[in-house]
Copies of this chain bind each other. A is one copy, B any other.
Amino acid sequence: MNINIPYNGIKYFTFAESADFLLQNGDLFGPITIAYETFGKLNDNKDNSILVIHALTGDTHATSGYDMDDSTPGWWDTMVGPAKPIDTNKYHVICCNVFGGCMGTTGPSSINPATGNPYGKDFPLITVKDMVNVQKKLIDHLGINRLKSVIGGSLGGMVALEWAVAYPDILETTVIIASGYKTSPQIVAFYEVGRNAILADPEFADGNYYDGKGPQKGLAIARMIAHITYLSKTSIEDKFGKNLQEDVTEDDLLKFRFGPMFAVESYLRHQGRKFVDRFDANSYLYITKAMDMYDLTSGGATLLDVLTNIKSRTLIISFDSDWHFTPQDSWHLVKAMMNLGKDVTYVNLESPFGHDAFLLENGELERVIYSFINNSKGGK
C-alpha cells in the first residue's frame, strides 16, 4: 500500500525532532513532517501568502495551473492559479497536507521512530487545533509573519476558523466555506457509522494492517456513506434518477440478485473502490474524529466568548443545497460575529450540488472570493 503521492513540487519540513510538540491533549509528540506545495512567489515583505486548506481527503496539490509541466489536476484548479480568483501571479499560495493525513504529512501511517513500524493506533488523537498549530510551525519556518488569507472549505473551513481564533494577529482575512464551528450530530452519526464499518472489517487488525491489504471494504463503505452526504437530494435525482446501470436492462431487473442495478449504486461502489486506492483508513478515523470533536463551544464557552479575539476580515460562504454543513451552520457563526461587531461578510450561494459545490466551478463563488481578498477595506 503506497498512498503518498509524490507531486513534482512537494516539499517537506520536519520539526519537533526531540518530540517536543505540545498536543491539545497535553502530550508531547514528534518528530512531525509537514508536506506542502507553494504556488506563486513570496514577495519581499513576505505578506502576500495565502494558506489554502484542504478538506477531509485532500492533499497539497491545490492546483496544476502554476507549473506548466504539471499534468496532475489540482483539487482546486477552478480557484487557484495564474489569473485565477486566488491568483498565483499576485499571491504566494501555500497548501499543506493536514496533520494526521496520509499525503506526506505525519499521520498514523507514518513510521514511528520508536518502533520502526507505522504508528497505527499508537498515533495520538489529534484535533483541529493541533492541525493549526502544526501549520503555524510551517508558516514560521517560511519566515512569514502575516498571512493575506487563510481559506478552506468543510474541514478546511474549520481549520481556517481555528486559525482566526488562535492566531488573530497573523491573519488579514479568513474565508470559511461550507463549514461551521461544530459538526452537527447528524453528520457525526454518519461518520460514526463509517468508522464502525472500518473497525468491523477483519482486515483492520486493530489498526496495524500495513503489512496486509487493510480494511478496504470497510473504508469503501465509510466513503460511500459520506459521499451521499456530500451530494444534494436533487443532484442525485438529476444525475442518476432511477436510471439503470449500463449493462442492466428492465428485463434483467427481476432476475437480479444484489449486484448494483441502478446507476447510482454502481457510481457509489466506484467511488468507494477509488477512494481505497488513495487514502489510509487510520487517517480517515483520526481526521473524521477530529472534525466530530471540533466545537468552539465545548467546555461551556459561548460562541461570543470564543470569537471575540478574531481580528481578520471574515468571509463566510454557504450553499443553499448543502445539508452536510447547512446555511444554518454558517449563519450561527455569522450572527455571533455580527453581534460582536466583527467585519464579517456572509454569502449563501445557489448551487444544486450540495456540499460538493465548494470544489466545483460555480461562477459566483470565484467572483466573491476574488473580490473579498482583493478588497482593501479594513485590510492593510
**A positions within 8 Å CB-CB of B:** 23-26, 121, 125, 127, 182, 184-186, 188-190, 192-193, 195-197, 199-202, 217-218, 220-221, 224-225, 228, 231, 233, 236-237, 240-242, 250, 253-258, 260-262, 264-265, 268-269, 272, 285, 289, 292-293, 295, 298-299, 323, 326
- Which residue from chain B places its CB closest to the CB of A235 in the assembled complex? B186
A237 to B187, CA, bound (A): 10
Check if A184 sits within 8 Å of B254, measured CB to CB: no
Contact of A185 among B185, B199, B236, B260 (CB under 8 A): B236
Q: A125-B254, A242-B295, A298-B242 are in contact. Are A193 and B262 (CB under 8 A)?
A: no
Contact of A188 among B188, B197, B262 (CB under 8 A): B262
A257 partner residues in chain B, CB cutoff 8 A: 121, 125
Known contacts A188-B265, A197-B221; 13 additional CB pairs below 8 A are A25-B255, A125-B254, A185-B236, A185-B241, A188-B242, A188-B264, A189-B265, A192-B262, A192-B264, A192-B269, A193-B268, A200-B221, A261-B293
Check if A186 sits within 8 Å of B237, measured CB to CB: yes
- Which residue from chain B places its CB closest to the CB of A300 in the assembled complex? B250
Check if A221 sits within 8 Å of B193, measured CB to CB: yes
Check if B217 sits within 8 Å of A200, measured CB to CB: yes
The oligomer's copy count stands at 2
Check if A228 sits within 8 Å of B193, measured CB to CB: yes
- Which residue from chain B places its CB closest to the CB of A233 in the assembled complex? B186
Check if A228 sits within 8 Å of B264, measured CB to CB: no
Interface of A is mostly: helix
The minimal Cβ–Cβ distance linking A307 to chain B, given in whole angstroms, is 18
Contact of A228 among B186, B195, B200, B202 (CB under 8 A): B186
A258 partner residues in chain B, CB cutoff 8 A: 195, 199, 285, 289
A289 to B184, CA, bound (A): 30
A228 partner residues in chain B, CB cutoff 8 A: 186, 189-190, 193
The minimal Cβ–Cβ distance linking A348 to chain B, given in whole angstroms, is 17
The minimal Cβ–Cβ distance linking A242 to chain B, given in whole angstroms, is 6
A121 to B218, CA, bound (A): 23
A295 partner residues in chain B, CB cutoff 8 A: 242
Check if B26 sits within 8 Å of A254, measured CB to CB: yes
Contact of A293 among B24, B200, B225, B253 (CB under 8 A): B253
A25 to B254, CA, bound (A): 5
Check if B225 sits within 8 Å of A262, measured CB to CB: no
